[in-house]
Amino acid sequence: MITLKNVTLRRSAKVLLDGVSATINPGEKVGLVGRNGAGKSTLFALLNGSLHEDGGDFFLPPQWRMAQVAQHMPETAEPATAFVLDGDTRLLALRLALQKAEQAGDGMAIAQAHSDLHDAGAHDAAARAQALILGLGFQVHELERPVNSFSGGWRMRLQLARALMCPSDLLLLDEPTNHLDLDALVWLEAWLQRYEGTLVVISHDREFLDAVTQVTLHIDNAQLTRYGGNYSQFEELRAQQLTLQQAAYERQQTKIAHLQKFIDRFKAKATKAKQAQSRVKALERMEKIAPVLASADFTFEFKEPPNLPNPMLAISDAAFGYPPADGGAPTTILRGVSRTVLAGQRIGILGANGQGKSTLVKTIARMMPPLGGKVTEGKGLSIGYFAQQELDVLHGDDHPLGHMVRLARTLGVDAREQDLRNFLGSFNFSGDMVQQAVGSMSGGEKARLVLAMIVWQRPNLLLLDEPTNHLDLATREALSMALNEFEGTVMLVSHDRALLRAVCDEFWLVGRGQVGPFDGDLDDYQRYLLEEARSLREQARATAELNNTPTATTPAPKDGREQRKASALARQQLAEKTKPFKRELEQVDKHLAQLGTERQQLEQRLAEPLPPTEIADCGRRLKACGDEIEALEERWLVLSSEIEALEAAHASA
C-alpha cells in the first residue's frame, strides 16, 4: 500500500501539505480533489517520484509498476498504432531482449524471450493498442496515420492511450478528460472501472469522479483528508463535518467569551487573581477550532440583455463546413440543416467527436460563413462566444486590463479604467493580476478572463464550446448557476454531464452530416454512444467477403407448413454460408494443436543440455512456431466473428 506519515511538501517557500498522513490500499480508485493551487499536482509529483517529501515518511511499494500520461506533446512521424504499442514497456524490453539474443545466436535466450513475449500478450498487443485508440475517438483509417499529423488535442489522446497500454499497478491520471468528447469519456469510464490496479485521478468532472472512484482525498488548507466514497458522497460527508465544526466553533466562542469576561473582571482583584490566572491558562490550553469561513468560491452573473429577439436564429437548408483552400472544393461537414433558435432556449449540442459540433457553433458565431442555405439572425442579436481554445480570442503577450480596454474600444463604449479594474476584480483578477501577461496564466485563469469579456458585452445568445475544460469544480458550479439565471438563450457543447444536466432542457444531435433533435436525456445518449461504438467495432472487424455476402430474403409464411419449410430453407442457407468458414476453422484448430505440441517439444528439448548448433536450430524453429501460432490465432478470431455474424443475422431474420 501507499502510505504518507506526517508528510510535508513545499513549493519554494509555500507549504502545500503540512504534516499530512493518509493510506491508499492496493486496487483502490482514488479521486484527488481540492481548489486550484491547493497542491494536487505537487502530491502527484511525490507519487511519481519527481519530487521528494520535505518532512515525514512516504512509502510506495518499489515493485509496483507505474503508468501516467506524458505531459509533453509528442513530435514523431511514427504511426499511431506503433506509438501507442510502445507504451507497453514490458513488451518493448522483451522485444529488445529477443533482438539481442538473435544477434548473438543464443538459442536459450531466444526461447526464453519468445516464452516471455507470449506471457506478456505479444500475440494480441497490436489489437489491444488499436482498441484503445478507437475507444478514444479515432477512426479506423487513422490507425496508421503519423502522430505529428494530428492536432495537439488528438496527440494528447494518443498519450493517454499509450499510458493505458502500459501494464501498471499504479495509474496516475491528471485531468484525463480535458481533451475528450463525451463519447470518448464514456468509453474511458468503462475502461477505468475494469482496471485492476490502483488508480489516483485528478479531475474537475463530477460525474466522471462519481463513476470511477470509491475513495476521495481532499486537500484543503495544507491538510489531506481521506473520505470513503465518490465525489458526491464526499460532498455530503464534508457538508456534515462543516456543520458540526461550525456548531463546535460557536460553542467554543461562547465559552471563550465567558472565560475572558471573568479574566477581565477579576484579574486586578487580589482575592480572585488565582482563579483569573487559572482561566488564562485554560484559554491557552484550549485547542482553537477554525471557523467555517464564508464561502470564497468564485461567483458571477450574466447581466440582463438589452433586448431578446425572437426567434434568435432561423437556419434554413444550410450547409456548414470549411471554405475551399488553394482553389480547391469546400469541405462540407453538415448538410440540410434547418433549425430555429428561440429566445430563452437552453440547448445542449450532442454528437460524437468529429461530427461537426464545433463547426455548427463556429458558423453561428460568425467565425465561418455557411457554405449554402440561409442563416437569418434576429434583429439585435448579440452573440457571446466561448471558443474551445481560449487563446483563439486572447493575446498571450497582453494582460486582462488591456483586453478589457481593447474590447471597450471595439464596441465603442467609453469606460473608465477604474471601472474596468473593478469589473475584473469581480472575476478574481485583483491587484497586480490585471497587469499579468495572459500567456503566463493558468488555463482556469484564461477561461475566467474569457467569461469576463463575454459577460461585459451583455449578449443575448451564448455559444459555449467546452467552457469547463480548465475550470475547477467550484468555478463550474458558479458557471452553472450563472447560466441558469441568464435570461437569454444558451447553446452549449460540453463533455461535463453535470453542467449539461443542470443547464439544458433540450438537446440537438449532430451526426452523420445532419443536425436534429435528440429525444431523450443524457442517460439515453450514453446508451446511444455505447451502441454506436459497438457498431463501429463490428464494422471494423468485418471482412470484405462478409460485407459482400448477399442477404437472403424469405417471404412471410402463410401457414405452419410454409413456416417450417421457410425455417428449414433459412437453416440450409445458413449452413451453406457458414460451411466454408467452419471447415477452415477446423483446419486452423488442427494446425494450432500440431504447432502447440511441436512448441512444447521444442521447449522441453531446450531445457536439456544440447550442443550450441542444436540450441540455435531449436530457437529458430520455436520462433517460427510462435509466428505461425500468432497468425493462425488471428485467423481463428476472424473466422469465429464471421460465423457469429452470420448466425446473428439468421436469428434476427
Among the ranges given (23-27, 111-115, 494-498, 632-636), the one the predictor scored with the smallest mean pLDDT? 632-636
Encoded amino acid at 302, one letter: F
What confidence score (pLDDT) does residue 93 get?
84
Q: Look at the block and give the residue holding cell 514490458.
A: 90
Peptide bond into 370 cis (omega under 30): no
Q: Cα angle at 125 between 119 and 127, to 5 degrees? A: 140
d(CA 17, CA 220): 9
Residue 84 binned pLDDT confidence (cut-offs 50, 70, 90):
very high
Beta-carbon-side half-sphere exposure of residue 197 (alpha carbons within 13 Å):
19
pLDDT at position 57: 93
Q: pLDDT at position 448, please?
A: 84
Q: Which three cell numbers stand for residue 285?
A: 490550553
Q: Which of 98, 102, 125 is nearest to 114 (CA)?
A: 98
Asked whether residue 367 carries a pLDDT value surpassing 60, the answer given is yes
Place of cell 458557471: 479
Asked if omega into 311 is within 30° of 0 (cis), the reply is yes
Which residue(s) pair with 225 in the sheet? Answer: 218
Determine the distance from the C-alpha atom of residue 83 to the mean position of all C-alpha atoms in its chain, rounded to a whole number: 20
SS3 category, 157: helix
d(CA 446, CA 436): 11
How do residues 5-23 score in pLDDT, each as one tens digit?
A: 999 998 877 888 889 999 9
Strands 383-386 and 313-322: unpaired
Q: Is the pLDDT of residue 489 over 80?
A: yes
- CA 199 to CA 122: how far, in whole Å? 25
Whole-number pLDDT of residue 607: 67
Q: How far is the C-alpha of 119 from the C-alpha of 129, rounded, in Å?
A: 17
Cell of 170: 499504479
Question: How many percent of the chain have pLDDT more than 70?
Answer: 86
User: Is pLDDT at 287 greater than 80 in this prediction?
Assistant: no
CB 227 within 8 A of CB 247: no
b (16+ CB within 10 A) / e for 478-502 = bbbebbeebebbbbbbbbbbbbbeb
**Of 127, 54, 61, 116, nearest to 90 (Cα)?**
116
Per DSSP bridges, beta strands 506-511 and 514-517 are antiparallel
Mean pLDDT of the 246-253 span: 77
Q: Which three cell numbers stand for residue 644?
A: 457469429
Q: What is the Cα–Cα distance from 301 to 306, expressed in whole angstroms?
A: 15
CA dihedral 449, 454, 457, 460 (to 10 degrees): -170
* Residue (of 509, 512, 523, 448) closest to 482 by Cα position: 448
Give the number of C-alpha atoms closer than 13 A to the C-alpha of residue 21, restricted to the C-beta side: 3
Average pLDDT value for residue range 613-620: 76
Reading the block at residue 539, the C-alpha cell is 464494422
8 Å CB contact between 180 and 135: no
The grid coordinates listed for 429 are 483578477
pTM, entire model? 0.67
Distance CA 507, CA 487 (A): 19
Quick one: which H or E segment has residue 476?
Answer: helix 473-485
Q: For residues 328-354, give the mean pLDDT.
A: 89
Q: What phi, psi does 372 have (nearest 5°)? A: -175, 170
pLDDT band at 276 (very low <50, low <70, confident <90, very high): low
Describe the crossing of helices 125-135 and 522-541 by its angle, rounded to 10 degrees.
140
More confident residue, 277 or 473: 473
Residue 37 per-residue DSSP state: T
Residue 218 CA to residue 203 CA, distance in Å, equals 12
Instruction: Report the first-to-last Cα separation within the chain, whole angstroms.
Output: 54
Measured at the CA of 465, the angle between CA 386 and CA 522, to 5 degrees, comes to: 140
- Whether 392 has a pLDDT exceeding 80, the answer reads no
C-alpha 92/C-alpha 519 separation (Å) is 48
